[in-house]
Amino acid sequence: MDISIFGLGYVGAVSLACLARDGHRVVGVDVDQTKLDLIGAGKTPVVEEGMVQLMKDVVAGGRVSVTRDTRDAIMRSELSLICVGTPSAPNGSQDQSAMLRLASDIGIVLRDLSRPHVIVFRSTLVPGTVEEVLRPIIERESGKKDGEGFHLCFQPEFLREGSSIRDYDKPPFTIVGANTPQPTERLRELFGHLPCEFYSTSVRAAEMVKYCCNNFHALKITFANETARLCEAMRVDPFEVMDLVCQDRQLNISPAYLKPGFAFGGSCLPKDLRASLYFAKTHDVELPMLGHILQSNRAHVDHAIAKVMASGKRRIGVIGLSFKTGTDDLRESPMVLLTEHFIGKGLSVRVYDPEVHLSRLLGANRRFIEQHVPHIGSMIHGDLNSIVAESDLLIVGLNDATTMEQLASSVRDDQIVIDLVRLPESVRLRGQYQGLCW
Which positions lie near ligand NAD, rule CB under 6 A?
Answer: 6-12, 29-32, 35, 83-86, 98, 101-102, 123-124, 157, 159-161
For residue 372, what is the enclosing H or E element?
Answer: helix 366-372
- Distance set, CA 171 to CA 72, 101, 174, 304 (Å): 31, 30, 7, 38
Smallest gap from Cβ 25 to ligand NAD, in A, equals: 18
Please say which residue, 48 or 355, places its beta carbon nearer to ligand NAD: 48
Identify which of residues 16 and 83 has a Cβ nearer to ligand NAD in the complex. Answer: 83
Q: Looking at beta carbons only, is 169 or 185 nearer to ligand NAD?
A: 169
- Are residues 1 and 190 in contact, defined by beta-carbon separation less than 8 angstroms? yes
CA nearest to 77, candidates 88, 66, 89: 66
196 is catalytic: no
State the nearest-atom distance from the C-beta of 154 to ligand NAD, in Å: 11
Please name the residues in contact with 143: beta carbons below 8 A apart, sequence gap of 6 or more. Answer: 111, 149
Name the residue nearer to ligand NAD (CB basis): 176 or 335: 176
Compute the least distance from the CB of residue 210 to ligand NAD, in Å.
Answer: 7
Q: How far is the CB of 33 from ligand NAD (least distance, A)?
A: 10
- Long-range residue pairs from 272-278, CB within 8 A, at least 24 positions apart, any chain: 276/230
Q: Is 7 or 177 the residue whose CB approaches ligand NAD more closely?
A: 7
Please give the distance of CA 40 from its chain centroid, rounded to a whole number.
Answer: 39
Residue 152 backbone dihedrals phi, psi, to 5 degrees: -100, 145
Residues 6+ apart with CB under 8 A from 378: none
Shortest Å, Cβ 87 to ligand NAD: 7
Instruction: Give the residue among 192, 126, 187, 123 at the shortest CA–CA distance from 151.
Output: 187
CB neighbours of residue 322 within 10 Å: 24
Q: Strand pairing of 150-154 and 174-178?
A: antiparallel
Cβ burial of 94 (10 Å; 0-12, 13-18, 19+) is: middle
Alpha helical stretches, state H, 123-237: 129, 135-142, 164-169, 181-191, 203-234
Nearer Cβ to ligand NAD (10/154): 10
**CB nearest ligand NAD: which residue?**
9
Pair 115, 2: CB distance under 8 Å: no
Nearest Cα to Cα of residue 312 among 286, 277, 280, 347: 347
Q: Write down the catalytic residue from 212, 246, 268, 437.
A: 268
Kindly list the catalytic residues.
Answer: 268
